Chains A and B, each alone.
Chain A
């Protein structure tokens, strides 16, 4: 008998494989998968460790620039470029994390925000990022030198595979001995300390993992759109990932994926109809979510399901 999570995972794979053949625009889907991975990485930190970072834009943005630059200027293959971006985000996560985890709660959030803003202005000033114009014209290249990513379907399945790998890694982390300690820190930090755990080291590793996976999402997104821009590094992106995670369901495995699809989907649908009112509508959704269904879409659905049984 399969568990609910396993059913959910099968449904996710089937939907991901079939979607581009059912008339859904592949580029839209690829953006969704990238942001879903970003939200899942964020959820690892907020939902399972209890750390609210308000600077995750730094990681998705930085990895985008590094991947874009290394592919465009150094001629790296797409997979190596993505790895370079991911590694850079991981190192950045180590630096930011080492500073931020010394404080808790709102101070932690503020330090991450401040560091991310600092980095935003670094990107704005540096030559190679193209400033306001962004780093444009990143070639998609050939995956492993064989598979041509200029073909949209090839690219789609490459992106989907990256999402699945990232998603599985996060799932395993949550359900590992390390994940158990993370949950204990989320639930009662002084108690975890009194049981002999150096909680700061655990928080730091969680932060680095989350940053690297957010970087993986950012680097992949750059290959998809052939562009790394300031938008991703902007604090707006840090706020959006909070919205996606809360809307979908904080601390649930599938919640951030659902949240990312809903947010990106709405933005796509509404952008040409209501213009900049999109932001207002997003804000309203956020308020309704916090007031009416705090567990998020997946969280509320799971509660409903377990009550019926």
Chain B
């Protein structure tokens, strides 16, 4: 294990241009180990693009991304997942026609090393059921274990998504708008859940709901027009005149 630096994830001059339009421009981001870090900004600020660059679903035009001191700029999404960076998606990402238990097991089964074994019975996966049930219990879904996922209410699907992500025990969790499209009660449930799972790991999230951001995050990075506008704790950032202008300005449009 190399000497652990203070920052788990760093980007250096990260830039993404789409046919002349620069969506993300020279972003230098440092995510502190063990913190909850939020990425906010008005619509079109480049949050989701940055997020997709970090999770390798998009390739950057220039710049580097470093995770735990290793350059991961040119790695594939599945590779960084195996390094311990696991993402969630804006719209709940489950496997709808598998049961809730099977969903979590997909997250767990890769470690068995039998995922290419087409001649083996799926009963061999039952040894994972205990661990899967623990994970489901941690998100209050144990009683739904045998339900086909498509039948779960939306908030529950998000909880299942988090349980599946936790199955990989990621060092860094990337959450893409975890409370998007949720009713008030569900938001509270997910906020509690994020706080609970943030123990012993780092969380970087993109979030629109400023209440959630204020409540959860240690550090906030504000993006506007693809560049970093401000960074710091909520109390500082929320008073920054540039940030206020960016938000008010965008609301007037």
Residues of A within 8 A of B (CB): 169, 172-173, 175-181, 183-184, 187-188, 190-199, 201-202, 205, 209
- On whether A195 and B107 interact (CB within 8 A), knowing A180-B122, A188-B95, A190-B57, the answer reads yes
Contact B125 A177 (CB under 8 A): yes
The total of Cβ contacts below 8 Å across the A-B interface reads 103
- On whether A176 and B122 interact (CB within 8 A), knowing A184-B106, A194-B55, A195-B107, the answer reads yes
- Asked if B207 CB lies within 8 Å of chain A CBs, one says no
Contact A183 B95 (CB under 8 A): yes
- Tell which of A177, A188, A190, A198 touches B120, judged by Cβ atoms closer than 8 Å: A177
- Asked if B86 CB lies within 8 Å of chain A CBs, one says yes
Contact B120 A176 (CB under 8 A): yes
- On whether A193 and B81 interact (CB within 8 A), knowing A177-B125, A188-B94, A188-B95, the answer reads yes
Contact B97 A177 (CB under 8 A): no
Contact B122 A175 (CB under 8 A): yes
Contact B81 A196 (CB under 8 A): yes
Q: Which residues of B contact A193 (CB under 8 A)?
A: 77-78, 81
Q: Which residues of B contact A172 (CB under 8 A)?
A: 118-119, 121
Bound CA span A176–B114, Å? 9
- Tell which of A176, A191, A197, A202 touches B121, judged by Cβ atoms closer than 8 Å: A176
Bound CA span A183–B122, Å? 13
Contact A179 B118 (CB under 8 A): yes
- Tell which of B78, B94, B167 touches A198, judged by Cβ atoms closer than 8 Å: B78
Residue of A nearest to B120 (CB): A176
Bound CA span A114–B28, Å? 46
What are 15 sample pairs from A and B whose C-beta atoms fall under 8 A apart?
Answer: A175-B122, A176-B117, A177-B109, A177-B114, A177-B115, A177-B125, A178-B114, A179-B118, A181-B109, A188-B94, A188-B96, A191-B89, A195-B81, A195-B168, A198-B78
Contact B89 A178 (CB under 8 A): no
Contact A196 B94 (CB under 8 A): no
- On whether A179 and B122 interact (CB within 8 A), knowing A191-B93, A205-B116, the answer reads yes
Contact B168 A196 (CB under 8 A): yes
Contact B96 A187 (CB under 8 A): yes
Annotate B86-126 by CB proximity to A: 1 below 8 A, 0 otherwise: 11110001111110001001110110101111111110110
**Chain A: minimal CB distance from B123 (Å):** 9
| B residues 107-160 touching A (CB-CB < 8 Å) | 107, 109-110, 112, 114-122, 124-125
- On whether A197 and B115 interact (CB within 8 A), knowing A183-B95, A188-B93, A188-B94, the answer reads yes
- Asked if B35 CB lies within 8 Å of chain A CBs, one says no
Contact A197 B78 (CB under 8 A): yes
Residues of B within 8 A of A (CB): 55, 57, 76-78, 81-82, 86-89, 93-98, 102, 105-107, 109-110, 112, 114-122, 124-125, 164, 167-168
Bound CA span A205–B119, Å? 12
Residue of B nearest to A182 (CB): B118
Interface majority SS on A: helix, strand, loop or mixed? helix
**Chain A: minimal CB distance from B205 (Å):** 15
Bound CA span A223–B124, Å? 38
Residue of A nearest to B76 (CB): A198
Contact A190 B106 (CB under 8 A): no
Contact A178 B118 (CB under 8 A): yes
Bound CA span A199–B57, Å? 14
Residue of A nearest to B57 (CB): A190
Q: Which residues of B contact A184 (CB under 8 A)?
A: 95, 98, 106
Q: Which residues of B contact A173 (CB under 8 A)?
A: 118-119
Contact B106 A205 (CB under 8 A): no
- On whether A180 and B102 interact (CB within 8 A), knowing A190-B93, A194-B93, A196-B78, the answer reads yes
Contact A196 B82 (CB under 8 A): yes
Q: Which residues of B contact A192 (CB under 8 A)?
A: 106
Bound CA span A246–B20, Å? 45
Q: Which residues of B contact A183 (CB under 8 A)?
A: 95, 97-98
Contact A194 B115 (CB under 8 A): no
Contact A187 B117 (CB under 8 A): no
Contact B118 A176 (CB under 8 A): yes
7 closest pairs, A vs B, by CB? A196-B81, A187-B95, A178-B118, A191-B93, A173-B118, A196-B82, A177-B114
Bound CA span A209–B88, Å? 32
Q: Which residues of A contact B88 (CB under 8 A)?
A: 194
